Amino acid sequence: MSFKLSEAAKIIGGDLVGDKDLIINNLAKIDEACKGDITFLYLPAYEKYFHSTKASAILVKPGFNKTRSDLTYIEVKDPNKAFSKLLIHYFTPDYLLEGIDKTAQIHPSASIGENAAIGKNVVVSAGCKIGENTKIFHNTVLLENVEVGKDTIIFQNVSIREKCKIGNRVIINPGTVIGSDGFGFYVDEREVYQKIPQIGIVIIEDDVELGSNVSVDRAALGATIIRRGVKVDNLVQIAHNVIIGEDTVISALTGISGSTKIGKHDIIAGQVGIVGHIEIADHTIIMAKSGISKSITKPGQYFGTPAKELKTALKLEAHFRNLPDYADKLKQLEMQIQELTEEIKRLKEN
């Protein structure tokens, strides 16, 4: 794909400085860009590549020191977001899957919407409903009475169990499992674990994206719900009866225990562990590797195990790092106290 740089500047609302007729062939990282590429610079850590990049054009913040005359610049408030807009505009992929493959197994009672595409070895069980323009890639299995909305993309090797409901414009990446049994057991009189039937479902609303190898457990009763616009990274565990609020993002390797409610517009970083039966307030940010052991009722940033408000957690971290120094100072003080005590004792005896 090729496009004029002046066209790109209009799309992102930037000010172009240099060759307005420059033709761009690709978007690339600043340290990997070649002639004909456009790149971006938004973090000071990458400024070291500015003098050596082979790109033809670069997105920078207003006021950037443009010392290279061989580059064409586009000034924008946020080069990172502007670069993302260009990627979306020029490079949104058109996933190539058309028609219904002859190896797909589709139950006669299933309903398939107009222009839906179904790949090799896909299983669509009895009572399923597939919306128009939806694409279901190879080796995916939908058990009985699954509903999938329109314009949804389900990639290969996804498993969706019975009665689960998937909305419109949802993206489910490879290897993800929707509606597996929740982790429900009780201990009987012989101290043996007995499985509790998990008779609920999973509801995934519109515009959700789930990464690869995500597990979303069905509810014990009722529904596990992922609300509109939620984005979930790879290898995330969402347990039974969890509810995740609108436009929340969850990074990789996070685990959310059963019946917890996550608020709207939250950011949960990688490797966060959240206990069950608690609530997280809207507009909360939980930093990586934190452990959430109780409800968070006040929006803000939280960090640590157990998690605390970020400022408090950072102060505690600083004290932990200084513990060896504190121990040395305590020893010195103990020695000084001992010396003073002995001196006072001698004075009294004299």
Catalytic residues: 240
Say if CB 70 and CB 86 are below 8 A apart: no
Backbone angles phi, psi at 315, to 5 degrees: -60, -45
In whole angstroms, what is the distance from residue 245 CA to residue 230 CA?
7
Instruction: Using the Cα atoms of residue 256, residue 177, residue 135 and residue 133 in order, give the sign of their dihedral.
Output: negative
